[in-house]
Structure formats: structure tokens, C-alpha cells
Structure 1
Amino acid sequence: MYRFADWSLTESNFNKGLERLIKISSHEIGHMFRISHCLNANCVINGTNGLGETDTHFAHACSLCQQKLNSGIRYNNRKRMTDLKHFEKQHLHSEWSRVQKDLNIIK
């Protein structure tokens, strides 16, 4: 977490470090479920070459990677996205906004 906060974890950059941790953890967990790197530039499963590039990615998988994940482990995607409301509580507004858009699409 310290590295993700640019080697200086402060109150002002805590969310930046947290968002990076979420993105990198989500990416690596995707590999644990045998999902290979994605070609979608914004997908969390797309590989990055550094934290600057990680910052440009979304914190969630694209619809194709979601399908791959769901084929291996069945889960309720609507419930998963609803449970991601913690993004809003942690002031990760851009990620919560993306989750809300996805929820509106599947309703």
C-alpha cells in the first residue's frame, strides 16, 4: 500500500493508493481464476507496465471477462455490483459511477 501511495502514505493520497490496490488485486485475482490478459484497454484484466498506466484502467472487468469469470464460478452479477457501493463510501466516485451505469444497463 505504501508503494501504491507514491512512497508517502498520507490522508490526501490514501484513496489513490486504495484505488491502485483494488485494481492490482482485482487483476491478480482474475489470474487466480485462470483469466488471461484482456485486450480491452480499460479492463482491469488488461496488463499494465506501471502505476501510471494502472491509474488509467477501470477497477472492474469488462463484460467479456465478467462472462469468463461467471462461466467458472457462478455468481449474481447484480448483487455483486450492488455490493460495490463501498466505492461510494470510500469516495471512489468515478468507480461507483461506472458501477451505477452497469447496473442501469442490466436492469
Structure 2
Amino acid sequence: MKKSHGPAFRAAKLDLAKCPACGGKAVTQGVFHELACVQCNASGWVTAETGGALPLEVLVTQLSIRLRAAEHQIAQHNCFRPAGAEAQYSENNRRGPGATNYTGD
């Protein structure tokens, strides 16, 4: 292992698991009302290796990393471009009255 001084250049992605106490809901059922889960600091996520709660600063960073990855996957799946007649129907061809879209309907 290499010696290093100071913080890491990039935040490492940790393996997270749903909290076994609350099932990832961040709350547990009390007698009369729901209580914040103390095992996961009311986040619903724990470390996969130890099952312990993450400090809030680390948790925010890890959830941000996961959110960016999920948004990237969604963006890749939503890159559908219509082709053929569908593309022509939805684009503005400026042939209608006042240079609006004319679809022939």
C-alpha cells in the first residue's frame, strides 16, 4: 500500500446495503407512530461490509455518487430519436398557416 498525505483525489464508491432494521425505509414502527431508525441514522442505508451506519458527510457523498450514476443510465436509455414518418410528423415543417407545422391531418 502506498503512503499518501492529505485527502484522496476522488471519493471512493462504497458498497451500500439496505438497513436490516428498517428495510431501507429510514423509519421503524413504534407503538403509536413511526420513529427514525437509529441503526442507519434515519437514512435507510448501511455499509455492506460491516452493517454499520455511515457518518452523514460520507452518506451524502455516496448518495450523490449513486444519483449521478442513475441519472447517467437514465440519460443513456432516453436517447430515443424518432425516425421516418414519426420524425417528420413531430418536427416543424413550416408549411402550415403562419409557418406552423402542417401534418396533413
Instruction: With the length of structure 2 as denominator, give the TM-score of the two structures.
Output: 0.24
Greater RCO, 1 or 2 (C-alpha within 8 Å, sep 6+):
1
Q: Look at both structures and tell me which one has the larger radius of gyration over its CA atoms.
A: 2
Q: Given the two structures, how large is their TM-score scaled by the length of structure 1?
A: 0.23
The structure with the greater share of residues assigned to helix is 1
